[in-house]
Structure 1
């Protein structure tokens, strides 16, 4: 008899497994349908010996000291500030858009934040109510930059026009009037010193934790005895798609190794105007590894395949609400993570959600234990 069955060995499941085992001395079984731990953050050395990310680039960044401190129990860190260039009009330009982007694209020499802000104001189009991803961008930088940097990329990534997507999608990408070319501006920007998989191995290395890979929930749910459950998979799948399937976008990855030390000037290059892929990642920028060869991933979005991104549209939110009501009615089951709560979370947000869930579990079980006493 396990105290807990945890479905999914990604961030949500692994953090909760570690907390329950180490803080409550609970016996935990973690299962995952894949043949590895670490979920989508899984990294490995490829045949050439280059450390790469199996499911596309994962860059850790957070403003939370508590989340950073928690993960620091399981890894050292390598400082890394992520930079992305977009191939636009035959040039590689910084994205998010900043002063350098504007100067290079328009042949200008803007030299201050105020000048850049004033120039962007001449491009911006008034939008009465910001509702969609298109509204966010057009109201800030105007139609031309929207078409060059956002529309094509978003259509490839999500399979719909930005005018059909919730404002949250493009609101994630800021527009800067200074020359800051970092993709993120969080207080903590690091990569795990020896990779994500090693961090997860240490997180799950506890005598109270058993891990079973290549194991599907439906195969063992009625066979292995357990008292309570953490479910981190798709919430609609848990309920056998009772109200229909929640829409997700999937990804396809083409991994390539080149017999040269470097291929591109930064870790990620986006392709909003050309190519059928959305972006190309070169991992040695991220990891700091020294190697005579380099490994890349060409990333394409797809409507079919493993669920990666919940699609933020009003009708999908309404459908999720139905599943959320079912989830809240389940006894002794906690739904945690991107797929289980149908939200687009960064890695640190998933860790934060898992730690918050553990605190709720602590409070809930403490009350039960008091009542039993």
Structure 2
């Protein structure tokens, strides 16, 4: 079990959670503020949900599902490059529509595969005329289009790609969710088949776990894994706290439990170097699962493929992990009293991260949130 340096005596800061947000906060405090930090995690590994490992057969496994790094921020890219070399990787995905696999996000090539030639040409021309070539437009916006060809196309996508996928992912109807959910489901008015358009797209050469070990290998950082936050806080009552766990858990759920979604990951193995033509294939019509990822694309391993099938499920405290805050007006209302309670603790306790902020962050966004927190708030409190 990785523990890092052991610090004697009191620590100035206690960071709860060793995922991207917590680890970056701890590293920035130690390096830029020159203060002692204890970072704890109830799990027995670093990296939070980005944790990866090599199993007994030499397969590289992403324990909590595929994590593909991408960012448009040079600052975040350069910061993380201190702790890893990179293997360029551009993620591509497809979706099963009937018996066809087509590019996702849906693009002009997808149109030609799904619709007869004249219909595809008509829709393509309308999309370019209304929204411009090379743009990405959300399915929500296309559904509201006054152009009949676009509106009909959007309804087809909604019914055959997004509707069942969203229902399985969230166990809710699309109209019950925040518009931000459909905003993450774009249509690409181009032939670009990349899933992400970020300037920097790559995977850590030695994996995420090694990146985190290097990040936290600082003489003013102590790491305690398999440690409950409450126990660490009791041992360091004067430490200032950065908490990246669920914000409602910090307050003992006094205003009710915030809703989260979890995921079950089923692994299988294939002898082929590439069991799928692309990294991830989504299955809107499948029973229970949403997508299958072939990790060999992502990790670069060539011996055989590790296939990860994802089954979204309800979160139950103590039974599984809270992966996704549920973006609905009701959950936003439930969050407000927790945000107010957190604000009263500022100066002693700060909340951050996907669970601490109750917000959907990509990995680079979690890094950026952590860096900004240290620069703008913690530095002034040090």
**TM-score of the two chains, using structure 2 as the length reference:** 0.88
The 10-residue stretch of structure 1 (254-263 or 49-58) with the greater mean CA deviation from structure 2: 254-263
Alignment of 1:59-98 (within 5 A): 59-98=68-107
Identify which of 131, 138, 143 aligns with 2:143.
138
CA distance, structure 1, for counterparts of residue 238 and residue 283 of structure 2? 48
Alpha-carbon contact 1:48-1:257 (below 8 Å) kept: no
Partner residue in 2 for 1:125: none
Identify which of 287, 306, 323 aligns with 1:308.
323
Alpha-carbon contact 1:135-1:163 (below 8 Å) kept: no
Identify which of 341, 348, 356 aligns with 1:332.
348
2:361 counterpart of 1:349:
no
Deviations along 1:181-203, whole A, 9 cap, x unmatched?
Answer: 11111111111111111110100
Partner residue in 2 for 1:371: none
Partner residue in 1 for 2:294: 282
Identify which of 258, 263, 269 aligns with 2:270.
258
Alignment of 1:199-210 (within 5 A): 199-210=211-222
Alignment of 1:1-373 (within 5 A): 1-108=10-117, 116-118=124-126, 135-136=140-141, 138-139=143-144, 141-291=153-303, 293-304=304-315, 305-330=320-345, 331-365=347-381
Give the alignment's Cα RMSD to 1 decimal.
2.0
| Alpha-carbon offset, residue 104 of structure 1 | 0.3
| Alpha-carbon offset, residue 177 of structure 1 | 1.7
| Alpha-carbon offset, residue 138 of structure 1 | 2.3
CA distance, structure 1, for counterparts of residue 195 and residue 276 of structure 2? 16
Q: Which runs of 5+ in 2 are unaligned?
A: 1-9, 131-137, 146-152
**What count of residue pairs does the alignment treat as equivalent?**
354
CA distance, structure 1, for counterparts of residue 262 and residue 380 of structure 2? 36
Q: 1:362 to 1:250 in 2, by over 3 A?
A: closer
Alpha-carbon contact 2:139-2:183 (below 8 Å) kept: no
Alpha-carbon contact 1:248-1:303 (below 8 Å) kept: yes
Q: Which runs of 5+ in 1 are unaligned?
A: 123-132, 367-373
Alpha-carbon contact 2:288-2:312 (below 8 Å) kept: no
The 10-residue stretch of structure 1 (137-146 or 177-186) with the greater mean CA deviation from structure 2: 137-146
